[in-house]
Amino acid sequence: MAGSRASKLSSRGSADGFLAAAVMVAAWKLAATAIGKDIILPPPERVLSVFVGLAGSARFLSAFWATALRGLAGFGLSMVLGSAIGFASGSSPRFARFVSPVMTVIKATPVLAVILLALIWFPTGFVPVFSAVVMAMPVVAADVAAGISSTDRRLLEMAAAYGVSPIDRALHVRLPYAVPHFVAGARNALGLSWKVVVAGEVLSQPARALGTGMQTARIMLETAEVFAWAAAGVLLCAVTDALFGLAMRKLSWPTR
């Protein structure tokens, strides 16, 4: 019964998603027809044609995989640093007060400012990765800290009273409370990483990057190609988000 109900809800969700996508494409088509100028807003079929043409080229494939590696690198570093800082912040109020000003400054700094500074400090290929880490790491740190600080104090006191070591208390008491928050932070950081990486590539223009392709097409006034490169970035984000959701369901996370 429960499985049948879940299947129906999943099918209904898929149908709603397709309907929303169809409405968006129809609105796009109507707007493109009303404007009548491809250089301003090309129709969806034109963008699809350009995308198909690009997708088979060596230039596109090398750019796609280079951006994918940068995005995953930025996401991975964000998770490691954010989890460490978040765990320490949730466990120690003193450490939380110490890092709070730094995190506040990072959160308030515009993405463009981070990218421009990174252009001065690092090689072009590392600029998108650094920018993604700076912007996504505080998101992970805040979520993990919230999970750690929500640990039931009575369980911690009981564990301490029975002589459980600090490491075991962290692993078996604090960590289970942090898992749902960790998963939420990871999902948010994943989506943010792709956006910042592509934005960093647009400005830094590495030799192989989706953002470089977008910028080159913009300079050449090839609006349909700009849309096609952007669609590749959206596809990359959507695929990784779907894989992340699938992995979480297989692992039955988040749980307590």
DSSP 123: -
222 exposure class (CB count in 10 Å sphere: 0-12, 13-18, 19+):
middle
Q: Which long-range contacts (CB under 8 A, 24 or more apart) does 236-241 make?
A: 236/64, 236/67, 236/68, 236/71, 236/194, 236/210, 237/190, 237/191, 237/194, 237/195, 240/71, 240/190, 240/194, 241/187, 241/190, 241/191
Give, rounded to a whole angstrom, the gap between the first and last alpha carbons of the chain.
Answer: 25
The residue type found at 114 is V
Overall CATH class of domain 47-250: mainly alpha
What's the pLDDT at 157? 61
What's the pLDDT at 70? 94
Tokens, residue 160: 């301490």
Query: What is the spatial distance between Cα 115 and Cα 166, in angstroms, rounded to a whole number?
Result: 40
What's the pLDDT at 230? 92
What's the pLDDT at 172? 60
Q: Where are the domains of the chain?
A: 1-36, 47-250
Tokens, residue 46: 């034109």
Q: What global pTM score does this model have? A: 0.80
- Give residue-wise pLDDT tens across range 143-168: 888 877 766 666 666 666 656 666 65
- Which of 163, 116, 137 lies closest to 74 in space, CA to CA? 137
Query: What is the spatial distance between Cα 212 and Cα 199, in angstroms, rounded to a whole number?
Result: 10
pLDDT in tens, the chain (256 residues): 444 554 554 556 566 667 888 888 889 889 888 888 888 899 889 989 999 988 888 899 999 999 999 999 999 999 999 989 988 888 788 898 999 898 899 888 899 999 999 999 999 889 999 999 999 999 999 888 887 776 666 666 666 665 666 665 666 666 676 677 788 888 889 889 999 999 999 999 998 999 999 999 999 988 999 999 999 998 888 888 888 888 777 766 544 4
